[in-house]
Structures are given as C-alpha cells and as structure tokens.
C-alpha cells in the first residue's frame, strides 16, 4: 500500500516539474521587445522574459519597433514557452514558439534583438545575428552610434543614477570668504591692521580700508561713504 502511494506521489511530482518546464498560454500583453504577459487555460497570468536575447530599451533607438516586432509575432496568439529558469523578478525565462516559429530566433533574424552574450547557449543565434547585421536589417540599419547593446545602455543608466545619488548625499562644504590679504598702497596704507573710524588719520585712509581691505564696518549706513565724520 505504501509503495503504491509513494509511486503515485512521485508521478505527481514528475508531472508538476514537467509542466513547469513547458507552459502553453495566450499572450494578452507585450511590455517591450523581449517581455510579454500571457494567460494559461487555468486563467493564471504569467510574465515571460525571452531567453538568450535582449532588445533595445524603450528609450533607446529602435526600442518601440522591437516591441512592435514581438507584438506582431505573439500578441493574441497561443504560445509554447520552454522555460529555462525563473529570474529574480519572478518571470519565466524561456524560448518561445508560435506553431513552428521560434520567436526568439525570429526576432534576432529580423534585426529586432541582440543575442544576449552573457546568457546565450544557442550558437545558431549568433549566426542569425551576423546575417541580420550583414543585411542591415532592423536595428542594424541604424548608425553605429545608435546601436549600443541594451545591457551596456542599462549599465550606463545605473552608473549615472548612482553618481547622482552620491552627489546628492555628499556633505555640503560651507564656503567661507577668503581672509583679507595684507596689502599696502603707494600712500603707505596697509590692510595688515583692521582699524576703526577713530583710528583713521584721514578720509583717504578710510576709503582705502573700505574699498581695498573690505572693512565694511566703516560704512555703517551702507551708502558707500566710510567714516562720515572724516569724509563729509
């Protein structure tokens, strides 16, 4: 009895694992050139990330057209997703087929996607990318300056955001006025001693200390005339 129960449980686990590696669903939404949402027959919503390829981000050149290319291939259609893994965002990452069409490969062939070097295992995708590039299809028709791989574009965007965060969190250093440098004029006046009006010998000396030495206390009413008892 126990052996039969164990065998039944084992078959159940195997069936669950097999179904987890292969999903059939209808595409109900396309997020960008390599991500879409679909519904299973059980009305379970699944987010799918296309495996082994990467498409331009929405703000990159050709980003909108890559999204349209994927939509033309899968939207409203029944797809088979051969799941390779689940990523950190909870998305099912896999190769996608609509009938006999390998959607991942088709996007690369059309020039709507790059081969994602870091995660690609299928070398035939590199051949398709090379052919698309030689024929200047899709994104390969763009100027070279507009063909930044999306993984590099995302890294540059992350680095830029990090620099902004570091700049905003850096302590603000108070700017203090530079101390007055001792100077002397041809008339013999000097900034080495900070004088009051009572210590001035003439209006000329008072004006020198106000204008050359920056001693604003000599101009109490801020009218530009220092020591008015001397400079009437």
Annotated catalytic, 194? no
Annotated catalytic, 91? yes
Active-site residue among 52, 57, 129, 205? 57
3-state secondary structure of 92: strand
Active-site residue among 65, 88, 91, 216? 91
> What's the helix, strand, coil split of the chain in %, to 5?
40, 20, 40
3-state secondary structure of 25: strand
Annotated catalytic, 147? no
CA 125, CA 152: separation in Å to the nearest integer?
20
- Name 101's Cβ contacts closer than 8 Å, sequence gap at least 6: 73
8 Å CB contact between 46 and 40 = yes
Question: Given the structure tokens 């000396």, which residue do they identify?
Answer: 205
Burial 151-183 (b: 16+ CB within 10 A, else e): eebeeeeeeeeeeeeeeeeeeeeeeeeeeeeee
Catalytic residue positions, numbered: 49, 57, 91
């Amino acid at each position: 009895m126990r052996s039969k129960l164990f065998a039944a449980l084992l078959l159940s686990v195997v069936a669950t694992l097999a179904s987890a590696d292969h999903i059939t669903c209808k595409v109900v939404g396309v997020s960008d050139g390599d991500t879409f949402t679909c519904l299973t027959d059980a009305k379970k919503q699944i987010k799918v990330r296309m495996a082994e390829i990467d498409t331009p981000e929405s703000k990159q050149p050709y980003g909108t057209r890559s999204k349209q290319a994927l939509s033309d291939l899968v939207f409203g259609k029944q797809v088979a997703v051969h799941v390779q893994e689940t990523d950190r965002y909870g998305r099912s990452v896999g190769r996608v087929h609509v009938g006999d069409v390998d959607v991942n490969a088709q996007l690369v062939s059309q020039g709507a996607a790059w081969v994602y070097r870091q995660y690609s295992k299928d070398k035939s995708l590199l051949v398709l990318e090379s052919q698309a590039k030689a024929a200047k299809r899709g994104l390969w028709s763009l100027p070279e300056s507009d063909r930044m791989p999306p993984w590099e574009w995302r890294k540059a965007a992350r680095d830029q955001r990090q620099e902004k965060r570091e700049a905003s969190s850096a302590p603000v250093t108070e700017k203090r006025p530079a101390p007055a440098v001792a100077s002397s004029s041809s008339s013999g006046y000097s900034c080495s001693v900070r004088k009051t009006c009572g210590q001035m010998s003439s209006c000329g000396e008072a004006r020198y200390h106000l204008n050359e030495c920056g001693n604003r206390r000599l101009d109490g009413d801020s009218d530009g005339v220092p020591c008015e008892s001397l400079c009437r």
